[in-house]
Amino acid sequence: MIISSKDYKIQFFEEPEYVTKHSEKIENVINKFLAFFSVSKLEVDISFCTENEITKLNKEFRGKNNSTNVLSFPDKEQKNISNECIGELMICQKVLEKEAFNQEKKIFDHFIHLVIHSMLHILGYAHEDKNDAILMESKEIEFLSKIGVKDPYK
């Protein structure tokens, strides 16, 4: 599935039904994301993968030998916060669904949170140190509240 306009292009690979049936909602979220974060260019591929695949990627790129919900790969090395969001996201559908169930979240809301979180990483936001985490999470929570998604950190 591809969602695009003159301002952005998002291509999904192996997407589950909760993505395809909400394409209009995703398009609305992306338009709001562009405005809220002053993004001038957005080109993102979003692929869904298995736990084995995400574990291999997590080990190769982050040195962590375990599965995770999502990994983000910027198109270029980000040293500062940018207004261009170009890259790829790998989402482990099984981990996403387990987390949504265990945390009593709607699957689609959790999916949107992971996409927004990962696109912020592509823009150059980080959460390795305390100040960066406060900045990133506060922006994330503020934006998610504007699109009707509850604070994912509560």
Spatial neighbors of 123 by CB under 8 A, at least 6 apart, are 37, 39, 78, 81, 82, 83, 84, 85
Q: What is the pLDDT of residues 65-108, one digit of tens each?
A: 999 999 999 987 666 778 889 999 999 999 999 999 999 999 99
pLDDT band at 143 (very low <50, low <70, confident <90, very high): very high
Question: What integer pLDDT is reported at residue 79 of this predicted model?
Answer: 67
Burial class (CB in 10 A: 0-12, 13-18, 19+), 124: middle
User: DSSP alpha helices (H): ranges in the chain?
Assistant: 17-20, 23-36, 51-62, 93-102, 107-123, 130-146
Spatial neighbors of 104 by CB under 8 A, at least 6 apart, are none
* Nearest residue to 144 (alpha-carbon basis) of 153, 102, 24: 153
Write down all domains in the chain, each with its CATH number in brackets: 2-146 (3.40.390.30)
Burial class (CB in 10 A: 0-12, 13-18, 19+), 148: exposed
What pTM does this model have?
0.93
